[in-house]
Every structure is written in C-alpha cells, then in structure tokens.
A and B are shown apart, each in its own frame.
Chain A
Amino acid sequence: MSIYNTAVNKPISTLMVFLAIMVLGIASYIQLPVDQYPKMDPPYITVMATYPGANAADIEENVTKILEDQLNSVDDLKEMTSTSYDNLSVISLEFEWEVNLDEASNDVRDAVDKSMSKLPDDIDRPTIMRFNTSMMPILIYAVTAEESYPGIDKILDDKLITRLNRVDGVASVIVAGAPERVVYVDLDPNKLDAYNLTLEQIGNKILAENKDISSGNVKMGDMDYTLRVEGEFEESDQIKNIVLGTQNNKIIYLRDVANIRDTLKDITLEQSINRGKGGVLMVTKQTDANAVAVAKQAKQEIEKTMKELPSDIKFQIISDNSDFIIKSINNLQDSLMYALIFVVLIVFLFLGRWRATFIIALTIPISLIVAFIYLFATGESLNIISLSSLSIAIGMVVDDAIVVLENITKHIDRGSRPREAAKYGTNEVWLSVIVTTLVTVAVFFPLTLVSGMTGILFKQLGWIVCITVCTSTVTAISLTPMLCSQLMKIQEKTDSNKFSFYNFVSRMLEKLDNVYERLIRWVLVHKTVTILSMFALFFASLFLFKMVKTDFMPQNDQNYLNVYAKMQSGQRVEVTKQVALDIDSVIRNSIPEITLINLSYGSEEEASFASMMNSTGNNILNMRLRTVDLKDRKRSVFEIADQVRGILKQFPDILQYTVTTSSGGSMGGNTVDIEIMGHDFNTTTNLAHTIATQARTIPGAEDIKISRDEDKSELRVILDQNKLARHGLTTSEVGSYLRNRIYGYRNSKFKENGEEYDIIVRFDEKYRSTLSEIENIIIVDAKGQKVRLKELGEIEEFFSPPNIERKSKQRILKVSITPAAGIALGDIATAAQSMLDKLEDVPQDVSLYIGGSYEDQQESFGSLIMLLLLSLMLVYIVMAAQFESFKMPFIIMLAIPFAFTGVILALLLTNTTMSIVAALGAIMLVGIVTKNGIVLIDFINLMRERGIRLYDAIAQACRSRLRPVLMTSLTTILGMVPMALSVGEGSETWRPMGIAVIGGMIFSTIITMIIVPAVYAAMDKSGSRDKQKNLRKQFKFMSDFDAERDLPKKK
C-alpha cells in the first residue's frame, strides 16, 4: 500500500496527521527565541586580575605572564590574548567552537588556582568571566539625576544592580561615572612634622578608634550583662575629634592636622548625558546567553525598579541591541509573508484555478512549519539566517506539489473521477518528484558539514532547506492527492468562447510558447554562434567580477554611533573636557538626527569593567551618539558617521579618531589589522609609526589606529642603595611610604546603614602636586630619624607604555586600517601586504602579520570555495545517476557559470558588495538553477526515446517545459523580491542575498532556456542513429530483410 493510496483512501486520517504537524509547529514557533544570528558567539572566557598601584609593565611581569603560563595549557584553547593595563590584567581566552564552556571554565579555574601561589601576595583573586571583553554591552542606558545625583551609586547598587545580576544570562552590570561616597582625611605634612606625627600613625589611630570590641560578660545580681566597648563612628564628623596625642599639655585633635571631608570621590572618569549629570549603566550578557531574552528580562527589572527609585532618576536608552534584533526579525517575517503572497499569486496566474492554487499554497505553511519544529527541537532561534532560508525555500516547496497536481488535473480533464485521478496521477510522477528533491538536497546538505564560524551560518541554512524541501515532497505525494480527490470536480467541457481568467491566461501563455519555440528553432540552426556568444558573455563577466567589491559582513544601521578620539598624551582631563564640549556643541548644531550624546573622558583611579570596554585615559574622549529611528530620518547612520568624521577633522587637538557604527555582537569589525610581534617597545612602536605613515598613503585607508597608545609620561623615583642602607631602609618601605602619602592609606572603613565607605588618609592635594613637594616628603628611617625623599634618591621623568597587549604569550602591537565607505577590505589588505613586503630594515626579532576581519574573511571565503566544489561534485553525481549519462550533467551544469554572471551583474548594478551573505546566495543558486536544466533535459530525452527527430524533439520539449520552468523560477525570484527590496532595520544583512539570488536566477533561467537546447543538439547529433546501426549488426537473423522489397505495398 503506497503512501498516496493510503492518503486518498483515508482523507480524515491524512488531514489529522497534517493538522498535528501544524499544531506542533505553531507551538514551537511561539516558544522560539529570537536572535540576530544562529548561536555563533565565539566561546570566550576572560580572566581579570586587579593589582592596585602597579603600572602596566609591572602587571605584565608579575601577573599576566604568570597567569598566561598556566592558562596556556588549558584544553581546546584556540587563542590567548592579554592586555596589561595600569592596575589591571585582562586575559582573553578564545576556545574552539565545539567546546563545552562549563568544562572550559572549570579548567580555567584550576589553572588560575595553580598560579595563585606565584602571584603577588596582596593581589585580589582573579575573576573568571564567561564573556568577551571586546563585545559591546547588549544594553546601554544613560542614567540622569538631579537631587539624587550624589547618592546615585548607592541607590543603583541597592535597588537595581543586585536585581539585574540575578537575571539569567547577565554577565555583568556596570555603572560608569556614578559618584561614590568617600571620607577623605587630607593631611598637612608641615603640621605633622611639627607635632612629630606620621601619616601611618594617624591611619592606624583612626583604625584603632573605629572599633567595637566585646569585652566579655559581667554577672551582677540576677543579671548577666555583656560588656562592650563601642568606638565605631556613627557620623563622619566624629573623625575630626580623634585625639592624636598631647604636646605641651595641649590636646592635639585630628582636625588640627587634617581637613576631613565626607564627600564624593574625586571622579576622574566623567560621564555626561546631553550635558547633564549622570552615569552610564551597561549590561553585558554571557557568551552563550540569548541577547534578546536577557535584554527583555533586564528591561522588565529596570521597569519594575523605576517605580521604587526617586522620581528624578531617569533612564534613557543609548544602545539596545535587542530592540534592533526584534525589529529586524519582524521585518524579515514581513518579507516572508509578502514572499508567500507573491508565490501564491504566481501559482494562480499559471494555473488559473482557485482550487488548485489553494491546494498548492497549503504545502507552503506545512513545509515552513516543520522547519520551526526543527529549530525548536535543536534549541535554535528565529534569526536572520533561519528566516532567509525559509524565504528561499518558499519558492521551492511548491514545485513538487505543482508537478503532482498538473498530472492529476490532466487525468481529471480526461474525465476520470477525482479519486482515481489522484491515485493514478500521483503514481505516475511520484518517483521523479523524489529524484528532483534529491538534487536539491545534494546541494544543500554539504552546507551542514562546513565547520568554523561560517559553518554556523551555513549549517542552519542547509538543514532548513533540506528539511522543508523533503517535507514538501512528502506533502506533495500525500496531502496534495488527498485534497485533489476531495476538492477537484470533474471538468465538463466548457465553452471556450466564454471569457474566464483561465481562458485568458491560457491564451497568453500559448502565445509565449509559440514565440519561444520559434526562438529555439532559430537557435538550433545557429548553434555555434549562440554557444560562442554565450561563453563570451561569461568570460566578459569574469572581468567584471574584479570590479565587485568584497566585504565580510554587511554593516547594520543600528541608530548608534561610537566615537573614540585621542588627544595629546599626558593632557589634563580639564582640557579634554573643553574639547569634548566643543565637539558636542558642533555635533548638536549640525546633525539634527542625533537625540542623545553621552560624553565620557578621563580615566578611573582603579581599573574597572568600564575601562575595559573602552580604552580610557585623561586624553581620551569616548562618545556615544544615538540617532532617531531609521524610519524618521533620511540619512543612514553611515552618512552621519562620515559627517562626524568631518567634524572631528576640524579639531586640531584630536590626533587619532575612530567612528564605529555597530553595537553589540562580535561581528561588527571591518578592519585590516597589521600585527607586529616583538618584545622591545621602542622598536615595535617605531615600526608601527612607520607602517601607519605609509598606510595613510594607501588610497581609501581611513581611521588608522595604533593599538598601543602614546607613551605615558611617568615619574620614577630612583633610589640610591648606599643611602638607603645608611638609613636602614628598603625600596619597598620607601615605596609604601610614598604610596600611602599620594595614593592614600586605606585601612579603615566608615559604616553607615550597612554600607561601608573608604576612609582615605593622604596628603592634601596641594602638598603632592609639585615635584619639589614630593621630593620633600619626609620618611622616618629605621633609627627614627626623619629623612627627605630627595636625600635618598632622585625623581626622573620617564615614558612608559600605558597598556601592553600580548597574543600567544608574545607582545603584540596592531595597526588597524578601516576601509573608507565604498572601498573593499580585500583591496586594503593587498595594498597593506605589498607595503609590508617592501618595508626595509625590519628588525630580526619582529614579525609582521595581517589579521583582523580580513583574516576572518579569507578563512570564510576559503571554506566557501570548498563548499562550492563539494556541492558541484554532489550535484554532478546525483544527476549522472539520474540520467545514466556522463554528459547530460555537464549540459545541465552549464547554467551554473551563468548564474554567477547574473550574480556579478546584479551586485554591480545595485552597487552591493560581495559579502559572506551574497556568497551564500550564490552557492544556493547551484541547487536552484540546475533544476531548470533537469526539467528541460529530462523532457528532451523523453521525446528522443519516443523516436522524434532531434530538432523537433528539442523544440517540442522546450515548448512544453517553458511553463513549468518559468513558474518555478518566478516563484523563487518573487520569493526573494521582498528580501531584496526591504529597507527596514537589519535589511542590510539580507538584501545582498536577495539581490544575488534574483540576479543569478533571472540571468541563468534565460540563458539555460537557450544554451541547454543548443548544447544538447551539438552533443547528441549522431547518438541515436548509431544506436540503430548497432542493433542491426547484432540481430543477424533479420539481415536478409529489406523493407522496400518485402513489405506488402499499401493500397
């Protein structure tokens, strides 16, 4: 009992099976998470260690190297990069894609534990985080406040951050620029000297006073009392009144030698939001979490908390990646709907019957819904790739049903009862339907085998197309015959004069058939001319290919701009602030689309998360700009970025700047990085500058950035060992004396309402801001004598690099080049490579590489070419088996080069770059365009076997197959049109794919319909005559027969 017989005989069971699939599919669809791409965040783990007070070089030597040595042996590690900042060491570990992050983080934890004994004693335990520091936060809020500003840090910390941290998938929540409360004890060194006190004594005195001590129990009568000594400060004012000692019978209070301030910490990293006071709240997600789900929950928490917060605290979104993702997915779903409507219209146009169209159209939702079940079952998401795959599949899933329906209609038109027609009609074609599906699967299945980053994109596409196409075949041979048997009616011979849509369409198509048949007959006579001119066209297009610009991933317009500007190294933060405000006003005046400007400049005293996201410094300005929504403005964010670049150029203070337009996600980069590996700072920095200067001469190279900042000026105390020895001092003792006086002595905390605030004891600023003040700092030596610093050594000015980057345990320095708008990444890379080759006197211990997005692009294109070859082989194999011929597949595959010609033309005409997505479209064409050839060749072969003469067979076959070919091609083309035309959020990503497929399809369909018949005729000329001759030779028993002589003459 075959599947179609069962389906026709049991219509209700069949209906129920498909209904069950629909229900499951819709249930899956509702629960599917939404994301931008398939899960493709590279598995990153970051290890971060803070060691306050150490400069970058110390951090590198004492922290980074030690951790790196241990971490290097972790399994499945792909690449290890590290940056040593002042006070902070950040090590980024990139793992292989297949790795289990839980196991990896356990391994990392073990490695960190092993290295603990070798790390400096007073270092904080390194933190291990599952995210990539180069990834932008998924949510950035600007938090502004009026009256509550001084307490905003505590308010946010209490009410919001603890809640947000509980949200599943949140990696970290950072508040940057919010002020912290602190108690300063600013000492006057002259008075200390006069009273014979040291800073350490005062610090310890504060600690000693700021204590509650329980002193045991006291039994008195019937009662048992606990005895306590209470000294903890209840108010910061009490600190003033601490008695330090007596001199000349006079009590010395702390207030006599110090100025005590309970105030906000001097912020050195300042944030301003539209010129108002405020901070920036950033939420980052864990590597393997879903951005949209995390953002949604985080937003709900913020909503809820807002009610509990003081009313003057306001939140404004600066960047929200999830919003962009949701909007772009909705956009793509709309495109999908339009595609569905277009396809149904095309089917109706060709069939001219409502019932038939309905039966065909029904296969679309069923096939698509099975894809949703697949996505749900494998834990995948609705994303750009999965939805574009469906968009492609939409045009292909109707093909099988059309073939089946046409054959059933033929039987019904002959007067069979629908039930019988459905059974026998399906029986005749079901095998060929399955074979054509196999060809499609042959092209798309290899996509599932690609590995690496591109593999993740292609895997989903491959599976979805395979699954939907297979489902459509199953539907075509079960549901379609069942519906035909129920819905179709016996066609009575209708009056052909009567006007109906069906008749009208038939007449128009008839005319088209005639024109085409005449064309084919002309082509058959002029085969050589046709074939040669076609090939000339193809080779001409190969030259055009050089003009197509290549790109990695299309950039998206996300209403967001990030500006990084660097000024003179060592510049005071006040100057930076002035420049920042000037830029702010220019941008505000000249770019009306900007709604929010967040300025951030200066560096934090202690390294924090915020300083990892953006490089910060007193001379560095970071700006976040938010524009109005895409639909409310005419210019794209890229044009605005160009204008911002122009504005930045006008400011002579700005030495280097970059303007980036993407947020969130690790795919934003679009740079060529020249990596310089070498140990010596001077050599590599000089080389980097030489390269940067030369790179500026490359046409189209913009935003040239050297990853190592200008050397930072540094004051270094050089101690004289002899003098130290004479005073019984050591370097570390002198060091800690200085640290306490300048950085501050922080051993005690002031407690209020369960919160602890640092009490910082240090010299008043005016006593530590000139060189002579520092030289005059008094140090008490081992004998109790006072020595001035200048008696122990000298202070000299030095330069040191502010951060040290390392890759695979070697110091590295990157010169990154961003291509200007309209310039291809590949061109820049080639120019850079030839520049490097010409570079003279490169020191021997320095090595140079080209990396960055260009490296990724090369890798991806490499695997794409492999994929293309694999697909071509498989298609050839399947077709050779189907046609039992070595040459037929060649004839059919002739269409493929022309598909690429079409892609090239389409990309050039629309001025689109050849990115991964466009290449993906081009590869899919291999599968789609061969289908046309198969239909044609199959029918020509059939005609030939029926003994029709070659040219007639070709002309007739072409005529009769024109409609099916046009129909399937048009459904695919129109299915992609909404994608190619969409302009909303995120459309930049999929538009190239739509354009590539449409261009390739149109061109290859037209060419296939002409060149395949011509080549067939050229290759098969003598084939069948030879066959007859052979037969005669074998069958000798009839050799004496002569038809002319022996056959009776007809009357």
Chain B
Amino acid sequence: MKKAVFITYNQALTERVAYILDQLQIRGFTQWPLVNGAGTIDGEPRMGTHTWPEMNSATLTIVEEEMVPLILKYVKNLDEVNKENGIRAFVWDITGMY
C-alpha cells in the first residue's frame, strides 16, 4: 500500500531534504518551495513578515509502505542536528490513484 509522506521544514534545509530523497532513491515528489506555518508546541512561526522573516518549504512524496520508516528515521536525524530549524514529517494513506 502506498503512503503519502508530507515533510515540512525551514527552507534552509531544502538541500538536505533533497539529499535524503536522492539517497533513498525516491524519484517522485511535489514541492512547495515557499509556505507559511508554525510549529504546534514551540516551533517558531515562519511568516515571511518583518516580525517572522523566515519561511518554510514543504515536500509531499508518495512512497511504498516499506520506505516510510526510513524517511522518518532520517528526518528525525536531521531534526536533531539543530532543533531550531525544525522539520516534521507526516504520513497518511493513499486510497486511490490514476
């Protein structure tokens, strides 16, 4: 069964996220280079305004179920390098596709 993995992160992490996908040989993805957002607990808002100047990016990739733990593992690894950047991955089911 296919799963959708939605990764959202500070845009400063763009190259590293691309590196993860490249290493895991995940080809298909859709990316929003600039999105706004804020972390649920203590994540700093990323609004692109004078007050909150930073921005987030988001990548959505649809992968086989076996790949999900690998992705989550390395996303967590990346997050632990520096918590301030902030990266989160969310997984949900794919119920149909063309």
Q: What is the bound-complex CA distance between A1043 and B67, given in angstroms? A: 12
Does the CB pair B24–A1037 fall under 8 Å?
no
Contact between A1037 and B78, CB atoms less than 8 A apart: yes
Which of B15-23, B39-47, B51-59 interfaces with chain A?
Answer: B15-23
Q: Are B23 and A1037 in contact (CB under 8 A)?
A: no
Q: Does B20 contact A1038, Cβ atoms closer than 8 Å?
A: yes
Least CB distance, A1033 to chain B, in whole angstroms: 12
Residues 72-88 of B at the A interface (beta carbon under 8 Å): 74, 77-78, 80-81
Given contacts A1031-B19, A1047-B24, contact A1041 B66 (CB under 8 A): no
Q: Contact partner of A1037 among B25, B67, B70, B81, CB < 8 A?
A: B81
Shortest distance between the CB of A1031 and any CB in chain B (Å):
7
- Docked-complex contact B66 and A1038, CB < 8 angstroms: no
- Using known A-B contacts A1031-B19, A1047-B24, A1047-B25, determine if residue A1041 contacts B64 with beta carbons closer than 8 Å: no
Residues of B within 8 A of A1036 (CB): 81
Residues from chain B with Cβ under 8 Å of A1037 in the complex: 16, 74, 77-78, 80-81
A216 to chain B, nearest CB (A): 108
A residues 1032-1051 touching B (CB-CB < 8 Å): 1035-1038, 1041, 1043, 1046-1048
Instruction: Determine whether the beta carbon of B64 is less than 8 Å from that of A1035.
Output: no
Q: How far is the CA of A1037 from the CA of B74 in the complex (A)?
A: 7
B66 and A1048: CB pair below 8 A? yes
**Chain B contacts for A1031, CB-based, 8 A:** 19
Whether B77 and A1038, one on each chain, are in contact in the complex, defined by CB atoms closer than 8 angstroms, is yes
Chain B: interface size category: 10 to 19
**Distance A569 CA – B67 CA, assembled complex (angstroms):** 110
CB-contact partner of A1043 in B16, B23, B64, under 8 A: B23
Whether the Cβ atoms of A1038 and B19 lie closer than 8 Å is yes
Chain B: interface secondary structure?
Answer: helix
* A1038 CA / B16 CA spacing, docked (Å): 10
- In the complex formed, the residue of A with least CB distance to B16 is A1035
Within the complex, what minimum Cβ distance (angstroms) separates B72 from chain A?
13
Chain B residues whose CB sits within 8 angstroms of the CB of A1046 once the complex forms: 70
Judging by beta carbons under 8 Å apart, are B70 and A1035 in contact?
A: no
How many A residues, CB 8 Å from partner?
10
Write out the residue numbers on chain A whose beta carbons fall within 8 Å of the beta carbon of B70. 1046-1047
Q: Which residues of A contact B77 (CB under 8 A)?
A: 1037-1038
**Does the CB pair B64–A1038 fall under 8 Å?**
no
B19–A1048 touching, CB < 8 Å: no
**With A and B bound together, what is the CA distance between A125 and B67 in angstroms?**
106
> Chain A residues with Cβ under 8 A from B24's Cβ?
1041, 1047
Nearest residue (CB) in A for B19 is: A1035
- CB <8 Å contact, A1038 and B74: yes
- CB-CB under 8 A from A1038, the residues of chain B are 19-20, 23, 74, 77
Residue of A nearest to B79 (CB): A1037
Which chain A positions have C-beta within 8 A of B78?
1037
B87 to chain A, nearest CB (A): 11
Quote the shortest CB–CB distance from A361 to chain B (angstroms).
42
Contact present for B74 and A1048 (CB under 8 Å):
no
Q: Which residues of B lie under 8 Å from residue A1041 when comparing CB positions?
A: 23-24, 74
Q: A1037-B16, A1037-B78 are in contact. Are A1043 and B66 (CB under 8 A)?
A: no
Cα-based distance from A1038 to B70 in the complex (angstroms): 11
CB-CB nearest in chain B for A947 = B22
CB distance from A874 to the nearest CB of B (A): 35
Query: Which residues of A1005-1051 are within 8 A (CB) of B?
Result: 1031, 1035-1038, 1041, 1043, 1046-1048
Answer whether A1043 and B25 are a contact pair too, CB < 8 Å, given A1035-B16, A1037-B16, A1038-B20. yes
State A1041–B67 Cα separation when bound (angstroms). Answer: 13
Neighbouring A residues of B64 by C-beta, 8 Å: 1048
Docked pose: A1041 CA to B77 CA in angstroms:
11
Closest to B78 in A: A1037
A1036 nearest CB neighbor, chain B only: B81
State the Cβ distance, B86 to closest chain A Cβ, in Å. Answer: 15
Per the bound structure, the CA–CA distance linking A1048 and B69 in Å amounts to 11
Partner of A1048, one of B16, B20, B67: B67
Q: Which of the listed residues A1035, A1036, A1037, A1046 has the most CB atoms from chain B within 10 Å of its own CB? A: A1037
Residues of A within 8 A of B80 (CB): 1037
Give min CB distance, B85 to chain A, whole Å.
12
Cα distance, A1035 to B64, chains bound together (Å): 25
List the A side residues contacting B19 at CB < 8 Å.
Answer: 1031, 1035, 1038
In the complex formed, the residue of A with least CB distance to B24 is A1047
Chain A neighbourhood of B81, CB < 8 A? 1036-1037
Instruction: State in angstroms the CA–CA spacing of A555 and B87 once bound together.
Output: 78
Taking the closest CB of chain B, its distance from the CB of A254, in whole angstroms, is 116
Cα distance A831–B19 in the bound complex, in angstroms = 71
A1031 to B20, CA, bound (A): 12
Residues of chain A lying within 8 A (CB to CB) of residue B25: 1043, 1047
- Shortest beta-carbon distance from B13 to chain A in Å: 10
Tell me the bound Cα distance from A413 to B78 in angstroms. 45
Mask of B7-34 contacts with A, CB within 8 angstroms, 1/0: 0000000001001100111000000000
Q: How far is the CB of A122 from chain B (nearest CB, A)?
A: 93
When chains A and B are docked, how far (Å) is the Cα of A1037 from the Cα of B17? 11
Q: How far is A1044 from B71 in the complex, measured between Cα atoms in Å? A: 16
**Shortest distance in angstroms between B5's beta carbon and chain A's nearest beta carbon?**
15
CB-CB under 8 A from B74, the residues of chain A are 1037-1038, 1041
Give A1041's nearest chain B residue, CB to CB.
B23
Give CA–CA (A1047, B70) in the complex, Å: 8
In the bound complex, what is the Cα–Cα distance between A1046 and B67 (angstroms)?
10
Q: What residues on A are CB-neighbors of B67 within 8 Å?
A: 1048
Query: Which residues of A sit under 8 angstroms from B20, Cβ to Cβ?
Result: 1038
Task: Give B20's nearest chain A residue, CB to CB.
Answer: A1038
Q: How far is the CB of B34 from chain A (nearest CB, A)?
A: 20
The distance from the CB of A1020 to the nearest CB of chain B, in whole angstroms, is 21
B-side contacts of A1043, CB under 8 Å = 23, 25
Scoring B23, B24, B81 by chain A CB atoms within 10 A of each residue's CB, the highest score goes to: B23
Q: Chain A nearest CB: distance from B23 CB in Å?
A: 6
Q: How far is the CA of A843 from the CA of B23 in the complex (A)?
A: 88
Q: Please, which residue of chain B has its CB at the minimum distance from the CB of A1042?
A: B23
Q: How far is the CB of B15 from chain A (nearest CB, A)?
A: 8
Q: How far is the CA of A1047 from the CA of B22 in the complex (A)?
A: 12
A1035 neighbours in B (Cβ, 8 Å): 16, 19
> Please, how many angstroms separate the alpha-carbon atoms of A1041 and B23 in the complex?
8
Q: How far is the CA of A1038 from the CA of B24 in the complex (A)?
A: 10
B66 to chain A: closest residue by CB: A1048
The CA-CA distance from A570 to B24 in the complex, in Å, is: 106
Q: How far is the CA of A172 from the CA of B17 in the complex (A)?
A: 85
| Chain B, residue nearest A1049 (CB) | B66
Q: Which residues of A contact B66 (CB under 8 A)?
A: 1048
Inter-chain CA distance A1046–B78, complex, in Å, is 18
A-B contact pairs, 24 of them (CB 8 A): A1031-B19, A1035-B16, A1036-B81, A1037-B16, A1037-B74, A1037-B77, A1037-B78, A1037-B80, A1037-B81, A1038-B19, A1038-B20, A1038-B23, A1038-B74, A1038-B77, A1041-B23, A1041-B24, A1043-B23, A1043-B25, A1046-B70, A1047-B24, A1047-B25, A1048-B64, A1048-B66, A1048-B67
A residues near B, CB below 8 A?
A: 1031, 1035-1038, 1041, 1043, 1046-1048
Interface residues of B (CB under 8 A from A): 16, 19-20, 23-25, 64, 66-67, 70, 74, 77-78, 80-81
Given pairs A1036-B81, A1041-B23, 11 additional interface contacts (CB within 8 A): A1031-B19, A1035-B16, A1037-B74, A1037-B77, A1037-B80, A1038-B19, A1038-B74, A1043-B23, A1043-B25, A1047-B24, A1048-B67
In the A-B complex, the 3 residue pairs with the closest CB atoms: A1048-B66, A1037-B77, A1037-B78
